[in-house]
Amino acid sequence: MTSINNIGVGLDIENIDRFAKLDLKKNRNFFDRVYTRKEKKYCLLKSNPFPHLAARFAAKEAIKKTIGDKIAFSEIEITNDKNGAPKVKFLNKRIKKKYKSIISISHTQSMVQAVCITFKN
């Protein structure tokens, strides 16, 4: 985490193929530990869910890098606003009261990156 006056910045880059190689059934524990029910539903409705799964993973990694507190992947939910822009929702009440994060996600055919800025309330 890079932090200046209660502001943290985090970045993560993921290879989409890493997620495409994971068998969704054999790795169910991983998916249940990382993604919320809403995220899994959103991603799995896509014809190719792997860029979306990789994007949410990268976003959560970037967010975790900005927060000084421990937080589980499943306590962070990445959704989209009505225009498609990604939004961060903290499901842990203590973290939700303490932090606010904004996220940007970009990808190519093979890679995805997420940049997060987190503010302490």
Mean pLDDT across 77-106: 96
Rounded to whole angstroms, the Cα distance separating 96 from 65 reads 16
DSSP E strand stretches across the chain: 2-4, 7-15, 76-80, 86-90, 99-107, 111-120
**1-34 tens-digit pLDDT:** 455 568 899 999 999 999 999 888 899 999 999 9
> Which sequence spans correspond to the domains of the chain?
2-120
Report how far residue 35's alpha carbon sits from residue 22's, in angstroms, rounded to the nearest whole number: 14
Which residues have C-beta within 8 Å of that of residue 44, sequence separation ≥ 6?
A: 24
Q: How confident is the model at residue 121 (pLDDT cuts 50, 70, 90)?
A: confident
Residue 61 has pLDDT above 60, yes or no: yes
- Give the CATH superfamily of 2-120: 4'-phosphopantetheinyl transferase domain (3.90.470.20)
